[in-house]
Structures are given as structure tokens and as C-alpha cells.
Structure 1
Amino acid sequence: MILIAESGSTKCDWRIIDKTKSVLHQFQTLGINPMVLGSRELKKVLENEKALANNKEQIEKIYFFGAGCGTPETDEKLKKILQDFFSPDIQIQIKGDLDAAVEAATTQSGIVCILGTGSNCCFFDGTKIIQKNPSLGYMLGDEGSGNAIGKALLKAYFNQLMPVTLQAKFETTFTPQLEEVLIQLYQRPFPNKYLAGFARFAIENRNKPFINLMLNQELKKFIDKQLYAYQEELKKYPTHFIGSIAYYTQDLIIEEFKNRDYQIGTFIKSPIDQLTQSIIQD
């Protein structure tokens, strides 16, 4: 059997493929990011999923695509955890989230963007990925991402910039206390995931002018600060978007791209299905 995993920082989608190339199990766990999770936390995610435990002896090969992967250190760390859980002899292929995004989005030249818990982008020339600028993470980058939107919402709330009715709805949804928010951000693990947890409020309240403007501003920051490096490519090739934030704000992205005379490509909420089909057909 084959195991396919596609992970962001918040969640990981899994598919177990049997010998007839059919999907035997599909499920979701907490995100597996070897850049931010320790070995103990990574192992715990695997141990807590029954479908993995029940089928681990039959799984012969693993394809893992994930945020935080793509460097020798993180890949070796994750590989060891997977070998310890499954088998020392198991075949393992580990690639980064940009690899997953490109494989899901296109086989032709184009720009590929990720807008989920975090954000990232690259140019695919039809053969290889070209990343002009590094991903700077939630503290220095991640413009347009779920955690950036969550940060903007919290700032607007505590600085009393939200309209009164929206503020009341935000309080009902989250009951935010400044002391607790600061503890979560500075003393607890995974502040990026915590911030991104507020983004759903923005998505669910997109009909409010204040929220719509905020989303527009955050998406423009992504275009201006991350896609800026691809000015020449933006004029020639389509831009594809992967991730839940992009998927639920695609009308805003399309409108902004029209205003800038950029070509728009596809929008994919999660690449796991495209990755599965590609691997099965290979």
C-alpha cells in the first residue's frame, strides 16, 4: 500500500492507497511541520491516528508533501520519525509545500502561490521551481495568509477600530481577553496556528464592508511584497493559487489581478486529491 500526506501547519490530509490503486482510507490530522514541531509532537500525531496504526505494516511507500520540509535537516528529522513508526526499510519521498502546490496546479510554466495558514510563492518554468525570495514565516512575512488576517483582526479589535456590531459578534465568537491572547502568542507553542484560527471569522463575515476592506488590504500586501519579485513572469504566465484563504477570497484576487492586468490561473482549496491522482497514474 501507498501512503500520501499533504500537510500545512494547521492540518494534514492523508490518503492510503491499496494495491488496486483505490483510496482505502482518507482522513485528516493535526499539521505536521518539522520546522516547528519537535520529534515527540510529530510522533504523537502519527500514534493518535488509528488508520495509520492499523495499516502501518502494510504500507510500503510514503509520499510526504509539507510545510517546513525541503531542507536536509527537516527532511532527515521527519524521515527518522516515519521510519521509527512504520519500518526502517520503508520507501519515503519528502517534498515541500511548494512542490505539492506546483504538482497540483500545473504542468505548464506559471506562478504558483500558497495562501493558507502561511503564504509562499514561486515560479515554475515547466521543469523546475524557481523561488526568488525565501518564505519569511509568520513573524517577518506570510502576507495575505490566515495568520496575517488573524493578526489584523486582533489589532482592529483591541484598538477599537471595528464597527460596534462587528465587535460584538467577534466577542461572542471568541470572547477575547488581551492577557490570554498575549500568553498564547508569547508563551504557548504554535502562535501562527493560533492567529490563523481567527481568520475564519473574516471569511464568514465577508459581507461586512470593514472585513472586505481588510481582506483586500491583506491580499494586496501579498501581491505587492511577495509577488513583486515576479513582475516579468506576471505579465507572461498565469498565476495559480492553493490554500483555503485563496479559495475563499478568489473573487477579490481575481478583481485585483484584473486591475493589474495579470493572468489568473486555477484555485485549489487543498492539493491532496490532485496529488493522489498524479501518484496513482504515475
Structure 2
Amino acid sequence: MKVSKAGAVAAVTVLVLTASGCGDDAADKPKLSIGVKFDQPGLGLREPGGRFSGFDVDVARYVAKELGYAPDRIEFKQVFSSDRELMLQYNEVEFVVASYSINEKRKAQVDFAGPYFVAHQDLLLRTSETGINKAEDLNSKTLCSVTGSTSAENVRTKLAPKAHVTEVGGYSECITALKESVLDAMTTDNAILAGYAAQNVNQGKFKLAGLSLSNEKYGIGVKKGDTELQTKINAALRKMVKDGSWEKFVKDNFGAANFKHEPAPEITEGR
């Protein structure tokens, strides 16, 4: 059978496109950069050897899968509470999943998908502590929080104005100081505190006060104006709750701390 030159060219083109996946295969995409915390057990933790674990990490992987990215196409980048907005604005990451509480001040700089979790500000205490039972008890105490978080500001302005608040770069520094009795309490969201309390090295050493000092709705941060990505992430979050993955992620990461969590929240951002 005689094949025309044009037919041969077309056949070769089809073969090339087939071999390359027509350029749409997820393997041909650049890696998906996601901002997570590296020092929050139970939420976002980079373990020895480079493995990542935690509820936020599980959520991030689920969303990435729904966006068409296999686990080996994900690049986790460390974010701190004070630089999450900058990481998005300068395109260092595509989105941020890092115990990122939604508030109006942040929404002026970035957009959010979600929320996907509701936490409450609480206190982490040594198990021997008996003198701190309510927020007002902190007025004569020293406590630790992280620079850029809402917790320290909440203590200063609303809960215990006379407390001495030390702000540090990472939660691990607070844990060390609390363990060594350098300070009396650590304050941040109960999900973060539960993650630390559940660690094998900390079990039996700390307790949560069980206070609900604020409502913190965790959202996934995206660059301001990226409504397309926001919509896709919201769809992934809804699916995650519906298929039972959300509940599994909560139990996998907070179960050891007997953490009493809120149900999955209604998605309200970007509607």
C-alpha cells in the first residue's frame, strides 16, 4: 500500500504525541510547590530522613492528587507564620497548607480556600501544673508563642494583658522551654498543641488546658485573585470530607492525644 508523504508525517506526529502523553500527562508538569510547616507534629512535620507527616500534609497531598499530581510530583517548602503571605505573593509556592487561620487582615493580601478545619486557641501545660485553669490565670505567668501567629496578640489584647509573652521563631523552641520549666505555658491552636502532646517523646509530660480561647478556621492560602485554583481546591476539600478521608486524617494524626475536634466545617471561602 502506498502512503503519501503527508500521511507519513501525520502518522509520525501521532506516534510522537502518544509517546509524550500529548503533553498533558501529570509527569510532564513541573513539580507542585506547597508551603507547609516543618516543625508541627500532627500537622506539618519534616521527620528525620526527609519524610513529611501530619494532618496538613495529608490534606495537601489529597488536594494535589485531585489537581493531577502524584506524590513524587509534590515539593514541600517550609513556611513560617510570618512569611506565608510573601511566599504566595512571590510565587514561591502554589498554595499554603500550614495551620493558616482565615482572618480579614490576611484576606487583604491572599485568598483562601476552605475552611477545612476549626481549631481553638488553648494552652499546653506541664502535667504537674495546677495553677492555670482559665485565661486570667496567665496574668502572672510567662508563656510562649510564635512570631506571626494570632495567639500572642489575642493574649495581649483580650485574655491576659499582664502576662509576659515570649515570641520565638518556631514551636519547638516553646516546647523545649516549657519542658525545662523556663516558662509556664505555651499557647497556640489546640490542634498544634495536641500534635506535640501526642509525640512519643512527650506523652505523659504535657496536657492541654481544654480552653477554647478563640475560633481558628484553617484555610488553604492561594495567591490573591487566583479564583481558578481556589475553586479547584474547594472542590477537592468537599470530596475529601464526603469520601471519609478527612475523618481518617484527623484520627491518624491526633488520635494519640484524645483530641476532641470539631466536625468538618462548611466551606465558605470563594463562593
Q: TM-score, normalised by structure 2?
A: 0.33
The structure with more radius of gyration:
2
Return the structure number with greater helix share: 1
